[in-house]
Amino acid sequence: MPAVSLNLTTDVVELTRALCDIESVSGNENAIANSIETALRAYPHLDVTRDADAIVARTSLGRGTRVLIAGHIDTVPVADNLPTRLETIDGVQHLWGRGTVDMKAGVAVQLKLAAELTEPNVDVTWIFYDHEEVDATLNGMGRLSRNRPDLLEGDFAVLCEPTSAGIEGGCNGTMRIEISTKGVKAHSARAWMGVNAIHAVEEILARLNRYSLQEVEVDGLVYKESLNAVLISGGIATNVIPDSAKVTVNYRFAPSKSIADAEAHLREVFEGFQVKVTDASAGARPGLDQPAAAAFIAATGLVARPKYGWTDVARFSALGVPAINFGPGDPNKAHADDESCPVDQIYSCEAALRKWLTA
């Protein structure tokens, strides 16, 4: 099937519509990737590389600084919300439909600027990747970092995920642990013969209730941490004293802590219990002390806020590249059936990035 041809220099809202109307639910990015690759290859100032359904387009102007600007091209499944349409919601013009927020408006801004900024003031690596909305093992940026780490080298990164056109720096890390209690099984009619493992959970919950939450300043932003029981299980029958129980705890920790720091802290909090780490992802420092980040904030005049959810900025951070989130659309509308993005935010993100890259 021939690729739908994209006009990258058209109005950015029109370009967003065109991108959204090429359905690209995770696993089905081939068509949109073909369209993006073909469109970018028309610009001689860009070196274009394709890796599966990810596309990287780089300027090579020999600038002293290189910034990475990234966005994913897949969406969650369509919920009868394509094709897109323009709609006025509460007096504000919105582009409605799957992908308008998460995150093809951001991708449209990237594509338009990639085409139009032939001589940005820093070298730019424009990254468009697949499989963000599914299992992390499939993530296109993760694959790029394994196949072509050289393409992800840079001083600073902007991920155009929705932030309502505000700057959200870094992200908290996340760790899940299972805390087990052991007891001795017995018939509940002769309970004194056993030891109840569910009752032993009380102390775990007491420590969680007593735990005082930390606020940690990292590169000038204050990150709120949290520590919560998220699952609990135990018992095998209604007439048996349970010999085992388990509480799953999720720790969201500031990006100044490594995974090892987080684990050591949790082992201390739950000392005396058996603790097993089941899943962990480090956070990402916002890197607002980097000159490229400072220039970005100065050019946009925006105030940075901390990001709490885990995003792919952490992948950049793991590569040693500080990163922020900045993109059009309310993140609370991402994945919603009534997903819609205020068009003025698409224009303001385009203007802000343009100003930063040409100032």
Q: What residues act catalytically? A: 74, 132
Please state the φ and ψ torsions of residue 78, each to the nearest 5 degrees: -70, 140
Q: Based on the shown chain and the rule CB under 5 A, indicate whether residue 108 belongs to the binding site for Zn ion.
A: no
Among 8, 55, 103, 313, binds Zn ion (CB under 5 A): 103
Single-letter residue type at 11:
D
For the chain, where are the alpha helices, taking DSSP H only? 12-20, 30-41, 105-116, 140-147, 201-210, 259-269, 291-300, 313-318, 343-358
Q: Based on the shown chain and the rule CB under 5 A, indicate whether residue 74 belongs to the binding site for Zn ion.
A: no
Nearest residue (CB) to Zn ion, 23 versus 261: 23
Dist CA 263 CA 269 (whole Å): 10
Q: Minimum CB separation from Zn ion for residue 189, in Å?
A: 55
Dist CA 288 CA 220 (whole Å): 7
Nearest residue (CB) to Zn ion, 108 versus 227: 108
Site mask for Zn ion (CB under 5 A), range 110-149, x = bound: ----------------------------------------
Nearest residue (CB) to Zn ion, 161 versus 168: 161
Q: Minimum CB separation from Zn ion for residue 161, in Å?
A: 5
Q: Which residue has tokens 């899940």?
A: 176
According to DSSP, residue 225 is labeled P
Stretch that binds Zn ion, among 96-104, 166-174, 182-190, 243-251 (CB under 5 A): 96-104
Q: Based on the shown chain and the rule CB under 5 A, indicate whether residue 37 belongs to the binding site for Zn ion.
A: no
Cβ proximity of 240 and 188 under 8 Å:
yes
Q: Minimum CB separation from Zn ion for residue 181, in Å?
A: 38
3-state class of 245 per DSSP? strand
Single-letter residue type at 24:
S
CA distances from 302 to 164, 298, 340 (A): 12, 8, 23
Dist CA 350 CA 248 (whole Å): 43
Stretch that binds Zn ion, among 148-156, 159-167, 271-279, 280-288 (CB under 5 A): 159-167
Q: Minimum CB separation from Zn ion for residue 103, in Å?
A: 5
Q: Based on the shown chain and the rule CB under 5 A, indicate whether residue 293 belongs to the binding site for Zn ion.
A: no
Among 37, 102, 123, 155, binds Zn ion (CB under 5 A): 102
3-state class of 168 per DSSP? strand
Residue nearest Zn ion, CB atom distance: 102
Nearest residue (CB) to Zn ion, 201 versus 349: 349
Q: Based on the shown chain and the rule CB under 5 A, indicate whether residue 160 belongs to the binding site for Zn ion.
A: no
Neighbours of 217 (CB within 10 A): 11
Nearest residue (CB) to Zn ion, 73 versus 245: 73
Listed residue (289, 287, 291) closest to 321, CA to CA: 287
Q: Based on the shown chain and the rule CB under 5 A, indicate whether residue 177 belongs to the binding site for Zn ion.
A: no
- Chain positions contacting Zn ion, by CB under 5 A: 102-103, 161
